[in-house]
A and B are shown apart, each in its own frame.
Chain A
Amino acid sequence: MSDLPPYPPLDPTTYDLIIVGTGISESILSAAAASSSSNTSVLHLDPNPFYGSHFASLSLPDLTSFLHSSSSLSPPPPPSSHDHNFLSVNLVNRSLYSSVEITTFDSSIHEDHDSRKFNVDLCGPRVNFCADESINLMLKSGSNNYVEFKSVDASFVGDSSGELRNVPDSRSAIFKDKSLDLMEKKELMTFFKLVQAHLADVATVRINEEDLESPFIEFLDKMELPPKIKSIILYGIAMLDYDQENEEACGGLLKTREGIARLALYITSIGRFSNALGALIYPIYGQGEIPQGFCRRAAVKGCIYVLRMPITALLLDKETGGYKGVRLATGQEIFSQKLILDPCITVESKSMSSLTDQQKETLRVIIPKAISSNGKIARGICIIRGSVKADVSNALVVYPPKSLFPEQLAAIRVLQLGSGLAVCPADMHVLYLSTVCDNDDQGKTALLSAMSTLIRPQVPESLQSDPVVENDTAEAKPVVLWRALYVQELVKGEFGGSISSASSPDGNLNYNEIVKSAIKLYEQLMGSGELFKEDNPTEENDGGAENED
């Protein structure tokens, strides 16, 4: 980004809101602000040449350079300020990624012809539930017009044996399931019906308050569900991370109320759109389409976009220490009431010492804290030839805690996507893996274990002495062509008065947590309620712009 083309100065130079970074929460906020009744003027910047920031979908070379470069990026030296009315505080980009490890097993994948056919998510594995808050907001804002979704065909629960069992997540899935015996079908469906009746508020079958406050796992035990079904409900449907049988490891058990809410999201997702097969959908061309959709919406509503435009410094009022504006990489100074920053932007450590308490207070959300105890997310991406399950292209696989190896603390989720979603060439699949972890090694070990169960082991090309000899026993498993492993830090969005920060990708499968925090941030920023209020009439005919199949 050092070879920035000369950029004409921006005009106007004053805005109500400046947003830096085009991740999912920044994009929602800019679209919501630009659409709000108060005609908020918004400038939306991104240092990268693409939309989406840490939520982008990129080609393999772009992905590689983003994972690596953002860790080594240092902003260009700040041009000296001509205006001494303001105090300038230098900013730096802190990488969210660590232990980045990228291996090519088959160099043909980098041939120009193929490498541009990839749209690989940085925040994978990630899907949308049909009844997600993210989908609600897209419909409400009209940004659904820019994105098309397809169904995830199947979801499975796996274990160390390599066998993948269907998640019987609906009435017809239970009916068709071959691995459940008749009594298990009955038990599972009875439980689903209880949840549905509870949600429909049928007085006679409501789950009582005491149960709702008790741990979900205890409630499942009380329902006398066998272990197999409990595991399906907890990890295959409620998508929990931590082992609920082990209270220590998961740092607090999930309450029944929350568990039921998660099941409710799943259940209401099934059948929300008549053309969706199950609960889960995925945007064609990758998850990066979603922030981009919100940005396009914002642009239509008058938000100004400048990509490839880092900011180098914040401008504070000398007197009050309050926020005034930002300095762009071009040296231009732009002013605004409020600022929202990408989670990787922090104050340069050497400028910290000279700050007054007042100034520190203004900047508090972007001052780097001690490495947070929020935990980390280990992510993996594999480009494979073949599929982890015959005849299925787009599928979710969940490995519940302890299912792969005894020390496995958290669930590992794997999402396979195929060329039907325009994320890779026709004969390949992209496999995303993630698990929450306390440290890099632990996370990577878990992901490698899942990979070795699903994929045929292969030596990196540089170490290959002979052409690979096909191993008969592993024939059915897919071959890995390219692999990335990295660990991402978790940063939560925070409201800080005039300067706020947005959320990094979290460890969940969907955007619900991030969207909720964005909505909260919006309320705090604008001091008012609903996003995309009194907006589009498209709200009513929802399914229309959804799924293409």
Chain B
Amino acid sequence: MHGRPRKAYKPEEEAASAAKAAKLRILQTQFMSNHHNKIYTKEAVDLSTKLLEINPEAYTAWNYRKLAVEDKLSRIESDPDLVKTILDEELSVVESALRQNFKSYGAWHHRKWVLSKGNSSVANEMRLLDKFQKLDSRNFHAWNYRRFVVELTNRSEQDELKYTDNMIGSDFSNYSAWHNRSVLLSNLLARKADGFLPNAKIPDEYELVHSAIFTDEDDQSGWFYHLWLLDQTVNVETPLLTSSWPSHGSRINLSAGCLNDSFSKLTTFCSESGSFPLILYFDQAVGGVSSATVTIDSELKGNEDLVWEPVSKKNSQMSSVWVAHLKYMSSEPCFRKEYEVKVRVGNSPGIVSSRGCNFSKSYEFIFTAHVHDTVQGSQEDIVSWTDGFDIWDAESKDLYSLVNLNRSNAQMDFKWRQEAIAEEIILFRKLSDSKIGKLTLARLLMAKAVISDDVVKGVDYNEILELYKDLMVLDSSHYQYYKDEHSVALLHKVTSSTDDLSRHLFRYRNMNNSVCLRLNNLSLSRIASVAKLLFVQMLDLSHNELHSTEGLEAMQLLSCLNLSHNKIRSFSALDSLRHLKQLRVLNVSHNHIGEHSVDTTRYLCSSPLSNSEWTQDEVGRKTPNLVTKYWDAYFVLRDLNLKQLDITGNAIARDEFSSFVLQVVPKLVWLNGKKLES
């Protein structure tokens, strides 16, 4: 029951409760001795009944009863009448226990156990449930059990949906009912049950939840349901390919060393390894990306059995970003030649979302790779982030093909979704006095941005940004959340058009006029819109408020990264950088690494104690105590191929740590702005 104040006990009640406890202790002792001696006589079982009537939470007693039932069943062979009598007896014990406390886990579980044995009638269960749900309509035990019974009796989901109609009608604050409704609707929509098409049903649901929200906007349950509906409107179950590098129709220049100025810096990729990454970016985590599901058709030799790797933080086989490395410097030299590469995603079924939905339909994209001679040797100069940047004179045609995502593979029924969001926006402007009203409006406007098929027509990012700024002031206890959302919106804005993006692009003179994306001084606390930035090789995120580099792992071309003057508190917050095989220059100066003796983000990574491999490698053998001390730095730096690292201005950057870094990254040329003697 909800909203009932607890009353202090009166002395006589206390006495009664003490007497009850004494009685209970005696029962308990007797019961335990029966249990240990495996006595299942009628008297012994009756004793457990008595115990459970007083204390339905005595789960040992429930387990004992299960054993007793098994014992009895084993004796009576298979007389169905007797079996039924035994099980019915259990059901009645559960019922009286539930009358005592209808929130007893043990009792509900015992009931499920009895029912799953079969043989007993389930007709009674709905009646029992109605009783308990009347007592407390939000009782989640009853709702859970209801779902169990529904499954057992094959009651139709439509009927259950009607039941939630009634429950919500009598009290629309019933969060359990709304939740069950969302579960039922997802199922019905997923299997496209009769009349359950999203474009027909979702608008009806909006109408229902509007009534709840407008009647009482202080009630949370409606808002939760609205959020779920919004998610249903914006996201589709079937996974989609959001972007790729190289993108469709693009022309990339490849070389083993550095190229001279005559080529577009945006589309040039140099690597000593003689291979380039092919990145697939999906709208949700998928599994099953392999050379069987993604086929490559190209004259580039040696790419027949590509190895696709998930780029995910936890080493799971589900990821929204997948990468494979295509060789362009195979056995025979093939300079100054153009190769067409045709990539077919989802050629054969196998790419599956975490919810089990298959990739929509096979999708093909084509790009051209131009392989060049190496002109100059590799560069060993220090990369300075302070000067040497020139304004980038737009090669906007190139940029356009890189930034504009081709969503033609999205077979989404966009029209009703866009209309639904547009209507919601009009409606929720009326509630934008309240915090949740502002937040919902901001979310709706973002949804509009996400769902527009053309590049952002009429999305006013400034309005979204203003809303989140207001919220940061109004609701300081959720400041960080709003801040993060503000960052996401800002990055969407920056990447929304070539014009917007080109304002942040610069030429870096010192490195052969490489293109650098500078997103510094934007007070970003979170990284987003990475799908549109896969081409970036040099990124300046300095003077922001980042806590972590999560999201950057998709930027497989990244070679220089500036994270100075942020709020990074440990090396484990840089964990996602381990996926960036091209990263050579990293600046994490003036952060908070090592400042906090207890850093919770450290525990997100596996502890060295659970990992025995480090003891095997050289550094581990030489300086086990340092590895133990700096294990988070060790795991990140060990996997990187850094030439230049800056960690000044962090509490951790003392001599001991610097010497440890030199051991872990022997190839390092520049440390903290000083050239190392080799």
Contacts and interface: CB of A to CB of B under 8 A. Distances in A.
Main secondary structure of the interface of A (DSSP, over half): helix
Interface string A432-453: 0000000000000000000000
B217 A185 contact: no
Contact of A172 (B170, B217, B427, B431): B170
How many residues of B sit at the interface, in one of the four size bands? 10 to 19
B211 interface: yes
Given A175-B172, A175-B216, A182-B214, 7 more contacts: A171-B172, A172-B170, A175-B215, A176-B211, A183-B430, A185-B215, A193-B216
A239 interface: no
**10 nearest A-B pairs in the assembled complex, by CB-CB distance:** A182-B214, A186-B214, A175-B215, A185-B215, A174-B215, A185-B214, A175-B172, A189-B215, A175-B211, A182-B210
Nearest to B430: A183
23 contacts: A171-B172, A171-B215, A171-B216, A172-B169, A172-B170, A172-B172, A174-B215, A175-B169, A175-B211, A175-B215, A176-B169, A182-B211, A182-B214, A182-B427, A182-B430, A183-B214, A183-B430, A185-B215, A186-B214, A186-B215, A186-B217, A186-B431, A189-B216
Contacts of A193: 216
B361 to A, nearest CB: 39
Interface string A175-197: 11000001101100100010000
Interface of A: 171-172, 174-176, 182-183, 185-186, 189, 193
B642 interface: no
B225 to A, nearest CB: 13
A172 B215 CA distance: 9
Contacts of A186: 214-215, 217, 431
Nearest to B222: A175
Contacts of B214: 182-183, 185-186, 189
Nearest to B172: A175
A200 to B, nearest CB: 13
A185 B216 CA distance: 8
Interface string B653-675: 00000000000000000000000
A183 B215 CA distance: 8
B80 to A, nearest CB: 39
B171 interface: yes
B212 interface: yes
Contacts of A175: 169, 172, 211-212, 215-216
B434 to A, nearest CB: 11
Interface string B216-250: 11000000000000000000000000000000000
Main secondary structure of the interface of B (DSSP, over half): helix
A331 B12 CA distance: 61
A183 B214 CA distance: 7
B462 to A, nearest CB: 27
A193 B216 CA distance: 9
Contacts of B171: 172
Contacts of B217: 186
Contacts of A183: 214, 430
Contacts of A182: 210-211, 214, 427, 430
Interface string B158-184: 000000000001111000000000000
Most chain A CB within a 10 A radius of its CB, from B212, B214, B431: B214
B223 to A, nearest CB: 14
A478 to B, nearest CB: 28
A101 B297 CA distance: 98
A186 B210 CA distance: 10
A104 B133 CA distance: 50
A174 B171 CA distance: 11
Contacts of B212: 175
Contacts of A189: 214-216
A504 B509 CA distance: 102
Most chain A CB within a 10 A radius of its CB, from B216, B427, B430: B216
B211 A185 contact: yes
Nearest to A181: B214
Contacts of B172: 171-172, 175
A337 B467 CA distance: 78
A443 B427 CA distance: 46
Interface in B630-654: none
Nearest to B216: A189
Nearest to B214: A182
Contacts of A171: 172, 215-216
Interface string B425-448: 001001100000000000000000
Nearest to A188: B215
Most chain B CB within a 10 A radius of its CB, from A172, A174, A175, A186: A175
A187 to B, nearest CB: 9
Nearest to B168: A175
Contacts of B430: 182-183
A174 B222 CA distance: 14
Interface in B405-433: 427, 430-431
A170 to B, nearest CB: 10
Contacts of A185: 211, 214-215
Interface string B180-216: 0000000000000000000000000000001110111
Contacts of B170: 172
Nearest to B173: A171
Interface in B574-625: none
Contacts of B169: 172, 175-176
A183 B211 CA distance: 10
A431 B583 CA distance: 86
B57 to A, nearest CB: 27
Nearest to A182: B214
A175 B213 CA distance: 9
A224 B205 CA distance: 30
A193 B210 CA distance: 19
A383 B460 CA distance: 64
Contacts of A176: 169, 211
Nearest to A176: B169
A229 to B, nearest CB: 13
A344 B210 CA distance: 56
Contacts of B216: 171, 175, 189, 193
A183 B210 CA distance: 10
Contacts of B211: 175-176, 182, 185
Contacts of B431: 186
A438 to B, nearest CB: 41
A182 B215 CA distance: 7
Contacts of B215: 171, 174-175, 185-186, 189
A175 B215 CA distance: 6
A171 B215 CA distance: 7
A383 to B, nearest CB: 33
A186 B215 CA distance: 5
Nearest to A187: B214
Interface string B377-396: 00000000000000000000
A186 B432 CA distance: 13
A181 to B, nearest CB: 9
Nearest to B135: A274
B548 to A, nearest CB: 41
A193 B218 CA distance: 11
Nearest to B207: A182
Nearest to B219: A171
A175 B211 CA distance: 5
B33 to A, nearest CB: 42
A183 B169 CA distance: 19
A109 B215 CA distance: 46
A174 B217 CA distance: 13
Nearest to A178: B211
Contacts of A174: 215
A355 to B, nearest CB: 62
Nearest to B212: A175
Nearest to A184: B214
A185 B222 CA distance: 14
A272 to B, nearest CB: 16
A370 to B, nearest CB: 52
Interface in B480-523: none
